[in-house]
């Protein structure tokens, strides 16, 4: 049985003002074209000025979020760096592929090729933090970040010494990607304003999004924001397996349903996946707040990262922005949050976070 691990710092670049704004989700950002893009920040604060000139947007977003997390944790060099990404730098892949086709395989720019490799952000973060330790990149669609977190948990259980790993995720929305996934029926035919996405759960499809989120994960309970008590990855989830997983997590932790302060749900306004969350909306007691986040970040492989970042902010702020709330509960404080998130390619993940040490 592995010991739980702790989140000691978190940062997120997302379609919301999540990075350096004052307050908690001020001025909610919405869109009506089916795409939510990251709010840019001043990337030059985090990346060497020579290197930054050739960098693609995904690299800037990923590296800056990782570096900001290290800053918040007050650590220069982590013990290792582990990331998850569904698609890496999509835009670099598109540019190299596009050039290759257009220029008929002649005189190509290697920068796009190098940056399109899924582990390039890890390499940059290792260079910038001078981290010669463990380094790993998981690329498993909707479970990319989850496997990265599991890896960190295993590493921290392999060592008695206090250690801190930089763990994060990043994924990007592009015009091409939107077109491609439209053919796979990912998106809604009639695109609503993103803020009202969840009121359209009677039709198929959702909206696209992107983001990066990084965390320092440690076995040191002191100064931790919360612990990751439990994490379960589900294949081909059904309402029954989601409910059964929640029940077993609660049983294992000796918790009753009403002890849950919040369930943070990945419902995406897509009629095909809404049933996964129906038991949560119906079975949670008046004590529990049911909240949602995908109308703020859109659908992408590592959206769990945005949810985890939100959870860390909820724990520290102890206030719940109105825009998240689906069903308000009466528990006075937020001491634990259950994150339940699905991904359209047939996976879901359920994580229990807690501030009880």
The answer to whether 285 and 258 have CB atoms below 8 angstroms apart is yes
Can residue 118 be called a binding residue for another protein (CB under 8 A)?
yes
Structure tokens at 147: 């496997």
Could you tell me the smallest distance in angstroms from the CB atom of residue 137 to another protein?
5
Structure tokens at 60: 């800037």
Judged by CB under 8 A, the stretch of 5-13, 160-168, 173-181, 205-213 that binds another protein is 173-181
Residues between 147 and 166 with contacts to another protein, criterion CB under 8 A: 147, 150-151, 154, 157-158
Q: Give the span between the Cα atoms of 318 and 133, in whole angstroms.
A: 36
Specify the residue, 155 or 339, whose C-beta has the smaller distance to another protein: 155
For 304, the enclosing helix (H) or strand (E) is helix 304-317
Partner residues linked to 347 by β-bridges: 235, 343
Judged by CB under 8 A, the stretch of 103-111, 206-214, 221-229, 292-300 that binds another protein is 103-111
Could you tell me the smallest distance in angstroms from the CB atom of residue 101 to another protein?
7
Can residue 183 be called a binding residue for another protein (CB under 8 A)?
yes
From 29, 39, 71, 176, residue interacting with another protein (rule: CB under 8 A): 176
Q: Give the span between the Cα atoms of 347 and 340, in whole angstroms.
A: 11
Direct distance between the N- and C-terminal alpha carbons of the chain, in angstroms, rounded to an integer: 17
Taking residues 195 to 234 in sequence order and writing x for each that binds another protein by CB under 8 A, - otherwise, the string is --------------------------------------x-
Can residue 244 be called a binding residue for another protein (CB under 8 A)?
no
From 18, 137, 288, 349, residue interacting with another protein (rule: CB under 8 A): 137
Measured from the Cβ of residue 259, the count of other Cβ atoms closer than 10 Å reads: 15
Can residue 117 be called a binding residue for another protein (CB under 8 A)?
yes
Could you tell me the smallest distance in angstroms from the CB atom of residue 97 to another protein?
6
Q: What's the number of CA atoms in the CB half-sphere (13 Å) around residue 238?
A: 3
- CA dihedral (238, 244, 250, 256) positive or negative: positive
Q: Which are the contacts of 352, defined by CB distance < 8 A and separation ≥ 6? A: 228, 229, 230, 231, 249, 253, 336, 337, 338, 339
**Closest to 158 in 3D by CA, of 278, 42, 3:** 3
Judged by CB under 8 A, the stretch of 6-14, 116-124, 208-216, 289-297 that binds another protein is 116-124
Can residue 19 be called a binding residue for another protein (CB under 8 A)?
no
Specify the residue, 136 or 288, whose C-beta has the smaller distance to another protein: 136
From 8, 64, 89, 129, residue interacting with another protein (rule: CB under 8 A): 129
Q: Give the span between the Cα atoms of 22 and 26, in whole angstroms.
A: 7
Can residue 46 be called a binding residue for another protein (CB under 8 A)?
no
Parallel/antiparallel/unpaired status of strands 336-343 and 262-265: parallel
Specify the residue, 18 or 153, whose C-beta has the smaller distance to another protein: 153
Residues near another protein, by CB under 8 A: 2, 81, 86-88, 96-97, 100-101, 104-106, 108-110, 113-114, 117-120, 122-124, 126-127, 129-141, 143, 147, 150-151, 154, 157-158, 176, 179-181, 183-184, 233, 235, 345
């Amino acid at each position: 049985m592995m010991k739980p691990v702790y989140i000691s710092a978190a940062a997120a670049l997302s379609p919301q003002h999540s990075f350096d704004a004052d307050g908690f989700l001020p001025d909610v950002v919405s869109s009506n074209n089916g795409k939510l893009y990251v709010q840019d920040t001043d990337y030059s604060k985090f990346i060497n000025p020579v290197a930054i000139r050739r960098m693609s947007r995904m690299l800037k977003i990923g590296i800056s979020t990782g570096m900001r997390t290290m800053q918040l944790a007050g650590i220069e060099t982590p013990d290792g760096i582990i990331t998850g990404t569904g698609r890496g730098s999509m835009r670099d892949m598109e540019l190299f592929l596009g050039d290759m086709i257009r220029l008929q395989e002649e005189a190509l720019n290697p920068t796009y090729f190098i940056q399109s490799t899924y582990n390039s952000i890890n390499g940059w973060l290792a260079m910038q933090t001078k981290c010669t330790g463990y380094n790993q990149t998981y690329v498993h669609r909707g479970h990319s970040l989850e496997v990265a977190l599991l890896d960190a948990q295993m590493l921290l259980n392999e060592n008695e010494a206090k250690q801190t790993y930089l763990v994060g995720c990043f994924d990007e929305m592009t015009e091409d990607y939107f077109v491609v996934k439209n053919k796979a029926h990912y998106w809604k035919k009639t695109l609503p304003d993103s803020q009202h996405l969840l009121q359209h759960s009677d039709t198929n499809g959702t909206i696209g999004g992107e983001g990066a989120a990084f965390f320092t994960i440690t076995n040191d309970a002191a100064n931790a924001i919360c612990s990751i008590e439990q994490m379960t990855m589900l294949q081909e989830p059904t309402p029954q397996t989601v409910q059964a997983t929640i029940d077993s997590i609660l049983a294992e932790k000796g918790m009753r349903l009403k002890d849950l302060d919040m369930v943070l749900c990945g419902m995406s306004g897509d009629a095909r996946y809404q049933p996964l969350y129906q038991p949560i909306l119906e079975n949670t007691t008046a004590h529990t707040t049911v909240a949602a986040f995908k109308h703020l970040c859109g659908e992408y492989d590592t959206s769990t990262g945005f949810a985890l970042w939100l959870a860390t902010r909820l724990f520290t702020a102890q206030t719940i922005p109105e825009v998240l709330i689906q069903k308000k509960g009466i528990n006075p404080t937020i001491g634990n949050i259950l994150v339940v998130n699905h991904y359209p390619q047939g996976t879901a993940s359920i994580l229990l976070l807690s501030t009880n040490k």
